[in-house]
Amino acid sequence: MAENCCQPRRRGSISLEDERADVRGERDGSPVEVAELRASRERLALAIDAERRSIERALHDGVQQQLVGLAADIELAAAVMDTDPVAAKKLLSDVRRDTRQLLEEARALAHRIYPPLLEAGGLIAALRTAAATANVHVQIDVAVDEASPSEIAGAVYFSCVDVLQRVGRGSRVAIAVRDEEGAVTFEIVADGEVDLGRLPLRDRVEAMGGQVTIRSGSGDRTRVAGSLPLPR
Condensed to tens digits (0 to 9), the pLDDT of residues 90-131 reads: 999 999 999 998 888 887 777 667 778 788 888 888 888 888
Give the 3-state secondary structure of residue 140. Answer: strand
pLDDT in tens, 64-100: 888 889 999 999 999 999 999 999 999 999 999 999 9
| CATH homologous superfamily, domain 121-229 | Histidine kinase-like ATPase, C-terminal domain (3.30.565.10)
Global pTM value: 0.63
- Return the closest-CA partner of residue 219 out of 149, 167, 143: 167
pLDDT in tens, 31-53: 766 676 666 666 656 566 666 67
pLDDT band at 20 (very low <50, low <70, confident <90, very high): very low
pLDDT band at 162 (very low <50, low <70, confident <90, very high): confident
All CATH 3.30.565.10 domain ranges in the chain, comma separated: 121-229
For residues 214 and 224, what is the distance between their CA atoms, to the nearest angstrom?
5
Give the 3-state secondary structure of residue 51. Answer: helix
pLDDT at 219 (0 to 100): 61
Domain at 45-113, CATH from 1.10.760, 1.10.3470, 1.20.5, 1.10.10: 1.20.5
